[in-house]
Amino acid sequence: MNRSWMILTILALGLIAACTVTHRAAVPGPAAPTPPATIVAITTNAGVEVNFDRPATIQGDRLLAEVKHKPYEIAVAEVQRYWLETRTKSTARTVGLVVGVAAAAVVVVAVAVVATASRHVNVPSGGGGCCLFVYSWDGQRYNFDTEAYTGAITRGLERDDFSLLHSVREQNGEYGLMLSNDNDETQYTDQLELWVVDQDRGVTPRAGSDGSLYSVREPIAPLSARDGQGKDLMTWLSKRDRLIWEPAPAANRQEVVLTFPRPKPSNPGGTQQAKLVASVTETPWAGMAAGRMLGLLGPQLPGWYEQIDGNPVARGFLQAWMARDELFALKIEVEEPTGWQVRGMMPISGPFVSDERVVPLDVSHVAGDTVRVRMRPPAGFWAFNSFAMDYSADLPARVTKLAPVRARDAAGKDLLPALHAADGQYYEMHEQGEQATVAFAAPPAARGMERTLFLHSRGYYHMHIPQTGEPDVATFQKILTEPEAGAAFSAKMYAEMNQ
């Protein structure tokens, strides 16, 4: 080994030990969070974001802080969401980065100094999970950017996911990602593919649940947004921001009705198709509830997995339940002269990154100059950030699909054979904290065009659920067969935990 390379590597490894990871988490109120997390901001019930000069404190039923060097006080009951921050030591993330990009000694040193992973998540404790976490390299550090194959809780539900990447930046002719098992689960990743989309300026490409790409050119905010009681939700749903509508778990459904303008038709047939641009995720609670539901099977859980994996009838029954009860899939209804009709389905995603995804809607039967859209999510399972409608025609885009050129785990094992194609060879991460780095060769930039990156992933996961004690098969079967029983189980569990 070259002496200078050895010195730089030793220096890098020494710096790695001191790296910290900052975790920023969104925790629903009004119950005050417990230490060691610090409260750095809140969102009020009125939809106002308040950032603090230094961490806030809770005294009785009041929150005390300082805002712009002035005292600030609010009743805890008025807090809709807490924004928390914790700092922890981390070596695995930086080690994985060094393994992944150690193509030159100078890169190793730069990485060791600045490689901290930035996260903005709210992971519930115990009994649940969600998905593979993906971090993007921005030239200085890895940023938590998206999640992959959410809801694919066993091999029979393995699925493709198409996620927008916000933070990845080209460096030395490559795009770098880090895969991380940040949940208490085993993850099986079959394929990773980077989609490089070059499109005309002013056009925003977005993905649908099946991997179709849509061009968003003229997104229109809703004219109104109201819940089932007529409460105005425009503050929460009219634009992408940190205001997230997320009712607490309850046995009842919520109702959200959005009204959008419908442009005057330029042809006799009128506007036939629309693109609902939605920033929606499942909630962290949904993953926790799923874990508790599966936990009802106890030692029978592995056998249930085998049924879903190998029996198309059992798998179809489960998928029909998901569509009916909407705990992990959400119907999009459009108002027509004959009443509300299901015209789309919101794919499960998240719960920690709220991508914009497109749901195509047939609006050919709509009468009048507005389009009304309704959703009836089970309370506690869905979080809404924003909605818009785009009626513009899709434009062609240049799409380059890239397989990885390098993929290694923290020990240096080559993962390319497992990740290069959907062929049943999996990269398996069995323990929480396992990580790997993946690199893609960046194609030349297209003159006069803007670039957007999507991650096409395929895989599934198994949550680590205790398989002890007597199974409660009756309750599990009730959840899958009786309408709304899953939401009622969730509400009961939530009430018990609060007590």
Contact call for residues 131 and 148 (beta carbons, < 8 A): yes
> Model pTM greater than 0.95?
no
Residue 33: per-residue pLDDT = 75
Residue 69 burial by CB count (10 A; 0-12/13-18/19+): exposed, middle or buried? exposed
Paired strand residues for 293: none
Residue 83: per-residue pLDDT = 83
- N-to-C CA span, the chain: 61
How does residue 476 score in pLDDT terms, banded at 50, 70 and 90?
very high
| β-strands 185-200, 427-429 pairing | antiparallel
Residue 97: per-residue pLDDT = 39
Asked if the bond preceding 396 is cis, omega within 30° of 0, the reply is: no
> What percent of the chain has pLDDT above 90?
69
Q: How far apart are CA 408 and CA 96, in angstroms?
A: 8
Residue 266: per-residue pLDDT = 57
Residue 269: per-residue pLDDT = 52
Average pLDDT, the chain: 85
Mean pLDDT of 366-371: 94
Nearest Cα residue to 111 out of 166, 165, 167, 178? 178
Nearest Cα residue to 436 out of 405, 401, 406? 406
Q: How far apart are CA 145 and CA 490, in angstroms?
A: 29
Mean pLDDT of 359-374: 95
Per-residue DSSP letters for 129-171?
---EEEEEE-SSSEEEEEEESTT--SGGG-EEEEEEESS---B
Q: pLDDT per residue over 45-56, tens digit each?
A: 888 889 999 999
Taking 90 as the threshold, does the pLDDT of residue 37 lie above it? no
> What percent of the chain has pLDDT above 70?
84
Taking 90 as the threshold, does the pLDDT of residue 177 lie above it? yes
- By residue count, the chain amounts to 499
Residue 24: per-residue pLDDT = 58
Mean pLDDT of 16-42: 65
Contact call for residues 27 and 33 (beta carbons, < 8 A): yes
Q: How far apart are CA 22 and CA 202, in angstroms?
A: 34
CA distance readout (Å), 215 to 164, 200, 355: 13, 10, 15
Tokens of 188: 């099986």
Nearest Cα residue to 365 out of 343, 345, 387, 346? 343
Q: How far apart are CA 221 and CA 215, in angstroms?
A: 16
Q: How far apart are CA 335 and CA 494, in angstroms?
A: 33
SS3 (DSSP) at 429 = strand
Which one has a higher pLDDT value, 148 or 268? 148
How does residue 15 score in pLDDT terms, banded at 50, 70 and 90?
very low
Q: How far apart are CA 250 and CA 28, in angstroms?
A: 14
Contact call for residues 222 and 260 (beta carbons, < 8 A): yes
Contact call for residues 65 and 56 (beta carbons, < 8 A): yes
Mean pLDDT of 259-283: 83
Taking 60 as the threshold, does the pLDDT of residue 79 lie above it? yes
Taking 80 as the threshold, does the pLDDT of residue 271 lie above it? no
Mean pLDDT of 234-256: 91
Taking 70 as the threshold, does the pLDDT of residue 113 lie above it? no
Least confident of 125-129, 269-273, 378-382: 125-129
How does residue 86 score in pLDDT terms, banded at 50, 70 and 90?
low
Q: How far apart are CA 117 and CA 20, in angstroms?
A: 8
Asked if the bond preceding 36 is cis, omega within 30° of 0, the reply is: yes
Q: What is the CATH number of domain 204-394?
A: 2.60.120
Q: How far apart are CA 404 and CA 211, in angstroms?
A: 19
Contact call for residues 186 and 428 (beta carbons, < 8 A): yes
Residue 355: per-residue pLDDT = 87
Q: How far apart are CA 38 and CA 343, in angstroms?
A: 43
Tokens of 284: 């962290």
**Residue 47: how many other CB atoms lie within 10 Å:** 15
Helix or strand (DSSP H, E) at 191: strand 185-200
Residue 115: per-residue pLDDT = 39
What is the radius of gyration, based on Cα positions, of the chain?
Answer: 23
Residue 83 backbone dihedrals phi, psi, to 5 degrees: -110, 115
Least confident of 161-165, 246-250, 367-371: 246-250
Least confident of 36-40, 180-184, 287-291, 435-439: 36-40
